[in-house]
Amino acid sequence: MAQYRIGEFSKITGLTVKTLRFYDEQGVLKPSCVDPENGYRYYDAELLTRARAITLLRSLEFSLTEITDLLNRSDEESFDVLDILRNQQDAIRLQIARYQRIDAKLCQLFEEEQETRQMAKHETFAVEEKTVESQLVAGIRMKGRYSDCGEPFARIGKSLGRYINGKPLLLHYDMEYREDDADFEACMPVSKSIEVEGIDIRELPAGRCVSLLHRGPYEELRTSYAKAFDYVQQKGFEIQIPSREVFLKGPGMIFRGNPKKYLTEIQLFIVE
Amino acid sequence: MAQYRIGEFSKITGLTVKTLRFYDEQGVLKPSCVDPENGYRYYDAELLTRARAITLLRSLEFSLTEITDLLNRSDEESFDVLDILRNQQDAIRLQIARYQRIDAKLCQLFEEEQETRQMAKHETFAVEEKTVESQLVAGIRMKGRYSDCGEPFARIGKSLGRYINGKPLLLHYDMEYREDDADFEACMPVSKSIEVEGIDIRELPAGRCVSLLHRGPYEELRTSYAKAFDYVQQKGFEIQIPSREVFLKGPGMIFRGNPKKYLTEIQLFIVE
DNA sequence: CATACGGCCTCCAGTAACGGGAGAGTCAAC
DNA sequence: GTTGACTCTCCCGTTACTGGAGGCCGTATG
């Protein structure tokens, strides 16, 4: 009977010496005998089959414990290969589905990013009038400083993250732009209405508005607001509260990004 | 500025306390301040955004080191989200492809197993005559005992495992059934001819043969051989060497299985 | 004969992203 | 004063290995 030393056995099976020692320790593939003098491992030809089976099963993503178990039970009466293959296939397909969901998510993010880039192409932005569709949003209203809006956004994201399908927005319930003690509502467009404590889910009405894109950090928003309000006054429009501020691109998205590139849309709704 | 303790922050973000401490240690998400007296971590609302981003990126299978790096570089000029998303998508699609290959392999094994089961359905087997197609095989010829055939099979499997597309077979170059010092060749059907040292790849000719299925351990093969030779003599056929032995189901496949269920086909080729 | 080299051994550490648990300090309420 | 909830640090375990240190064994070469 041919006896191989670990190095030769490694070359034949394609398993590294380290791996073979590890398999020995784990009981998956024990050498046929071990020299008690120097501890050398010796493998015989019979073990090649087992090694092949292990390699195959590993390539099918079975764990070592599963493999050990399967190989030990494989001569039992109740042992059914088809069952095992089916189970493993189920597990593998779950993985495929998981990765496909990730892929879809990446696609979506990719498209969104491209869209906002398209919008941000212009050098400067002009005030314009436009009509906005109604949309379902989840909102948390609060008083305080705008910089505190991170928390309500995070709360919404936590509870309804799965259903968010648009850019975050802020509703301003004050007539003018205020720094401290403002009355505002952090909103996220959602696809589904789910009751959550402390979050108000409702349909935001459609309407006609004066819109202005603003590029740059939020500290400079005031100048854009001034431009928008100028336009409103010039046209003699009457403005409705709340006004909206849509964060097309900002720190709340994925990356902090460059504040000079932040993109925000101011929407002042017209009473008709 | 609202300061959250780790427990509250955990509830808001959905990250466990353990995870938050781990993120702190890894530098992915450091608390805004740490009480030097008691070591308590305090998180402020600003970090909620970062936590959200981390959760999102984790769900897209970015590693923590990647995330740290991305979040740190995200305000640089050269930072391009689209690039990053594309790269990650490539990585994810590799995973999908990998799992799909595994899935296909499982399907294949599944079908093969079902086929042999179909063949093994009968209680007893009768000698029959049939025509066998030609097939490309990789073989290693040797002299010795049949029980030593594990090694050549393993060697073929190691070099050509990717191209194996059928059941292993043994060619017998002796005129009668021998135990020791037999002259035989271990063969594997392969889909591609690749030159490998010590392995002979060639087309096995088609031909008409006397075939008999044998169920049970190899030690009992002799009785089946006797039956087949009886038939040959009765018909007055002349037999060609080598004869073939196809292992439809045996220990060399995946699992050792139950020797009582081993299935072997004896093929004695007729000189026409 | 000494030594260098390759092969083998054991033991330890590290990987990724946490989870579990021990043992101890902290804080507010009752 | 005490209870219970919360927090801290430190260490171990997970999976399937890989890498390295330090040392034994057998053979080939100077």
Residue type, B138: A
Do the Cβ atoms of A258 and B77 come within 8 Å? yes
What is the dotted CATH code of the domain comprising A122-270?
3.20.80.10
Rounded-to-integer distance, Cα B67 and Cα B70, Å: 5
- Tell me, what's the pLDDT at A37? 86
| Chain A contact for B30 (CB, 8 A cutoff) | no
Q: Tokens 């990647």 map to which residue? A: B66
Domain ranges of chain B: 3-79, 88-115, 120-270
Smallest CA-to-CA distance from B258 within A176, A94, A156, A76 is with A76
Give the ranges where A134-263 is alpha helix by DSSP (H): 150-160, 221-235
Whether the beta carbon of B141 falls within 7 A of nucleic chain D: the reply is no
B65: number of Cβ within 10 Å:
11
pLDDT band at B1 (very low <50, low <70, confident <90, very high): low
**pLDDT for residue B226 is more than 70:** yes
Residue B217 contacts A where some CB pair is shorter than 8 Å: no
The residue assigned the tokens 């004066």 is A210
d(CA B20, C1' C23) / Å: 21
d(CA A205, CA A184): 17
Lowest mean pLDDT among A191-200, B83-92, B147-156: B147-156
Round to a whole number and report the distance in Å from the CA of B11 to the C1' of C30: 27
Which positions in strand C are less than 7 Å from the protein's CB atoms?
7-10, 16-20, 25-27
| Token couple for A197 | 């404590």
CA B28 → CA A106, A258, B22, B51, B53, distances in Å?
Answer: 22, 20, 9, 9, 11
What span, in angstroms and rounded, lies between the C-alpha atoms of B197 and B204?
19
The answer to whether domain B120-270 has CATH 3.40.50.10470 is no
| Residues 131 through 150 of chain B touching chain A, CB cutoff 8 Å | 148, 150
Instruction: Please give the order of strands across the beta sheet that includes A239-249.
Output: A128-132, A207-215, A263-270, A239-249, A169-172, A182-189, A135-144, A200-204
Rg (CA), chain A: 32
On whether the A3-76 domain is CATH 1.10.1660.10, my answer is yes
Are A150 and B259 a contacting pair at CB < 8 A?
Answer: no
Q: What's the CA B6/C1' D7 distance, rounded, in angstroms? A: 8
B152 alpha-carbon distance from chain centroid = 19
Of B53, B61, B254, the CB nearest to A81: B254
Burial class (CB in 10 A: 0-12, 13-18, 19+), B152: buried
Place of tokens 């999908």: B96
The Cβ-side half-sphere exposure at A32, using a 13 Å CA radius, reads: 16
Question: Are the C-beta atoms of residues B31 and B24 closer than 8 Å to each other?
Answer: yes
Torsion B12-B13-B18-B22 (CA) sign: negative
CB contact under 8 A, A74 and B155: no
| Per-residue confidence in pLDDT tens, chain A, 272 aa | 578 999 999 998 999 999 999 999 999 999 999 999 889 999 988 898 899 899 999 999 999 999 999 999 887 878 888 999 999 999 999 999 999 999 999 999 999 889 888 888 877 788 999 999 999 999 999 998 888 888 888 888 888 888 888 899 999 998 877 777 899 999 999 999 988 888 999 999 999 999 999 998 888 888 999 999 999 999 999 999 999 999 998 877 778 778 888 899 999 999 98
The type of residue at A86 is R
**What is the Cα–Cα distance from A93 to B246, expressed in whole angstroms?**
33
pLDDT at B24: 97
Shortest alpha-carbon distance between residue B142 and chain A (Å): 14
Contacts of residue B89, Cβ cutoff 8 Å, sequence gap at least 6? A103, A106, A107, A110
Contact A99 B102 (CB under 8 A): no
Report how far residue B73's alpha carbon sits from residue B60's, in angstroms, rounded to the nearest whole number. Answer: 18
**CB-based contact B211:B224 (threshold 8 Å):** no
The CATH number of domain B3-79, selected from 2.60.120.10, 3.60.15.10, 1.10.1660.10, 3.40.50.720: 1.10.1660.10
Residues in chain A with CB shorter than 8 Å from the CB of B14 are: 158
> Contacts of residue A51 in chain B, CB cutoff 8 Å?
154
